[in-house]
Amino acid sequence: MNQNIERISRILINNNIKPSFQRIKILEYLLENKKHPTVDEIYVSLHPEIPTLSKTTIYNTLNLFLESGIVRALNIESSESRYDPITDQHGHFKCDHCGSVYDFPVNFENIKSNKFLEGYEVKEKDVILKGICKHCKEN
Amino acid sequence: MNQNIERISRILINNNIKPSFQRIKILEYLLENKKHPTVDEIYVSLHPEIPTLSKTTIYNTLNLFLESGIVRALNIESSESRYDPITDQHGHFKCDHCGSVYDFPVNFENIKSNKFLEGYEVKEKDVILKGICKHCKEN
DNA sequence: AAATAAAAATGTAACAATTACAAAAAAAGT
DNA sequence: ACTTTTTTTGTAATTGTTACATTTTTATTT
Ligand SMILES: [Mn+2]
Ligand SMILES: [Mn+2]
Ligand SMILES: [Zn+2]
Ligand SMILES: [Zn+2]
């Protein structure tokens, strides 16, 4: 566990972010449960352990993480953002039934090598699918 | 112009939506300027011509259109939804500089035929790119 | 170690997109 | 013409997010 905190601290330091207790805990939460949580989900999960934690701190911290590129924001639903510590290219499947957000690999070359996109500078890519997940279909 | 209203009325009637003045105008706006507007952009554009128009009506109408599937909602930014009367599969490119949202064709077969998605029922698909558009790059 | 300065966390208020709800207006049916 | 139903409207409530001032923590200097 202490090893884990060491590892997470190093990620922050490498990105010029001072490894405060809250920042470590928030990044740890993202990395341990790769569930693409919302701010509220992070808050509800960490609050029992850190009763003084403020939602503003979560917002501040995530925005800080976004700027240095150690997390990605996902706009799957219009209502609220989700956060993903895996920044390598991949797609997302959101289950309408259980609410889970699954990762899946995507070959972006097919998408980028498109006549219509010649001359366009692509910085961000997102593939979002919605439907019913395998697990929910089996019940 | 009258022809146009006839055509739009028929779309609504075919989807069991009574073609009121407001509904016709909102759908007409979506179909004429294929700019993936936000609710506010629709409101600002139509308000001069229809001073009594209420934003609530625009929300009600778009939700009605969504239910019958004659428009699609896009969650490109987290802050607000955009609306698209073209429901055939295609991708979207949002320019960070000028704010335009461009359509481009996407081959979804590559994405769907994915081992990781076997057993998953896909109902909605979205491909969203962000960056700088050709037009802005040339300036 | 005490004092000072800088950075981070917190709580509250402000904001903005969206929905809920009730009243007014318009349309349809009798 | 009267009644009922549908649609539109305005206002208030809700909710995710940001702004801002204050408090707390951490780092630096004396
Ligand atoms: Mn992911
Ligand atoms: Mn489109
Ligand atoms: Zn599911
Ligand atoms: Zn542009």
Fold of A91-138: Dna Ligase; domain 1 (3.30.1490)
Residue A2 has pLDDT above 90, yes or no: no
CB pairs A-B closer than 8 Å: 116
Q: What is the pLDDT of residues B39-91, one digit of tens each?
A: 999 999 999 999 999 999 999 999 999 999 999 999 999 999 999 999 999 99
Q: Which region among A41-55, A81-95, B100-114 has the lowest average model confidence (pLDDT)?
A: B100-114
Residue A109 has pLDDT above 80, yes or no: no
Q: What is the pTM of this model?
A: 0.93
Structural class in CATH, domain A3-84: mainly alpha
Cβ <8 Å between B107 and A110: yes
Locate all alpha helices (DSSP H) within chain A, ordered by sequence. 2-14, 21-32, 39-46, 55-68, 109-112, 134-137
Give the residue-averaged pLDDT of A46-62: 98
Q: What is the pLDDT of residues B15-31, one digit of tens each?
A: 999 999 999 999 999 99
Residues facing B74 on adjacent strands: B82
**Centre of ligand 4 from the C-alpha of residue B136, in Å:** 4
| Residue A79 Cβ < 7 Å to strand D | yes
Q: Is B104 helix (H, G, I), strand (E, B) or coil?
A: strand
Distance, Å, A59 CA → D27 C1': 24
> Regarding beta strands B91-95 and B121-132, do their DSSP bridges make them parallel or antiparallel, or are they unpaired?
parallel
- List the single residue in A with minimal CA-CA distance to B130: A124
| Neighbour-count burial for A104-134, b at 16+ CB within 10 Å, e otherwise | bebebeebeebeebeebbeeebbbbbbbbbe
Domain segments of chain A: what residues?
3-84, 91-138
